[in-house]
Amino acid sequence: MKTVKIRPFLLLIANKLLQAFLPTPFFAILGLMLLALLLGTAGYMLIEGRTLANALYMTLITVTTLGFGEVEPLSTTGRHITIF
């Protein structure tokens, strides 16, 4: 009876899944950037009550580190979202 080591087997499956869904590092980086934009925009909209345009603007200037300043002053919770 052949024994299969669980950990290498799971790593092999995880590697195959990553290769299937993220074939190149470019798509992985692009996906992470889009995820950050979506989460940041949703956070500003839900917590600060911003419009889609203002929330996306705040997220973009934060992610790109331009630092133009806030459209409106942030609450303490909004500042925590910005730091996160």
Round to the nearest angstrom and report the end-to-end CA distance of the chain: 50
Instruction: Specify if 44 maps to a domain.
Output: yes
Q: What is the mean pLDDT of residues 69-78?
A: 79
Q: Would 18 be classed as within a structural domain?
A: no
Q: Which of 53, 51, 54, 43 is nearest to 80 (CA)?
A: 43
Whether 7 is in a domain gets the answer no
CATH number for 49:
1.10.287.70
Confidence band of 38 (pLDDT split at 50, 70, 90) = very high
19-34 pLDDT, tens per residue? 777 667 777 788 888 9
Q: How many domains does the chain have?
A: 1
Task: Evaluate if residue 7 carries a pLDDT over 70.
Answer: no
- Residue 53 sits in which domain range? 24-83
**What is the spatial distance between Cα 20 and Cα 40, in angstroms, rounded to a whole number?**
27
- Give the chain's length: 84
**pTM of the shown model:** 0.62
Beta-carbon contacts of 16 under 8 Å, excluding residues fewer than 6 positions away, are: none
Domain assignment present for 57: yes
Residue 2 covered by a domain = no
Give the mean model confidence (pLDDT) for residues 54-75. 82
